[in-house]
Amino acid sequence: MIYRKRRGTASVPGGYYRFATSLHQSVSGFGDGDFIRLRDEYGNVWRGTAERQEDNTVHYHFRDSNGKTVSGISDSFGIILRDQSGHVWRGFLM
């Protein structure tokens, strides 16, 4: 009998991420699979992960070196994140 390795869920696509708020703050960077590294306009580095859920959405969690966190969700239309202050970050994956 031949056994095949079963593939669980499909991995999260990688590429270039770009997020912006209504206050014209921006964060951008690259991601490969479920690990993402972003840099904001002040030079802070945000490291994050992406986890694909069963309903075909992706949950994002980011943290910078100062301890600030941003988390959110994406669907087929785009990515929406919310930070600790309540600001909404809208973005996309290219």
Which residues, 6 or more positions from 24, have their beta carbon under 8 angstroms from its beta carbon?
none
> What pLDDT shows up at residue 75?
78
33, amino acid identity:
G
Quick one: DSSP state of residue 44? -
Please give the class, per CATH, of domain 15-93: mainly beta
- Whether the model clears a pTM of 0.85, i.e. scores above it, the answer is no
- Other beta carbons within 10 angstroms of residue 55's beta carbon come to 6
pLDDT of the chain, 94 residues: tens digit per residue: 566 665 555 567 688 999 998 888 899 999 987 899 999 998 999 999 999 888 888 999 999 999 999 999 987 788 999 989 899 999 988 8
For the chain, the structural domain boundaries read: 15-93
d(CA 13, CA 16): 10
